[in-house]
Amino acid sequence: MKKINIFIAILFVVTVIFEVFNIFLSNTITTDSIKATQLQVKLATIDERNLILKSTILKNSSYEYVASRSSEFGFKPSNTTVSLNSPLEVAAR
The ranges assigned to domains in the chain are 2-72
pLDDT of res. 51: 95
Q: 10-residue block means of pLDDT along the chain (93 residues)? A: 87 94 89 87 95 92 84 78 66 61
Buried b (16+ CB within 10 A) or exposed e, 44-79: eeeeeeeeeeeeeeeeeeeeeeeeeeeeeeeeeeee
Please report, for residues 32, 61, 87, the alpha-carbon distance to residue 21 in angstroms, rounded to integers and kept in the order given: 16, 59, 79
CB 10: neighbour CB atoms within 10 A? Answer: 10
Q: How many residues appear in the chain?
A: 93
pLDDT of res. 12: 93
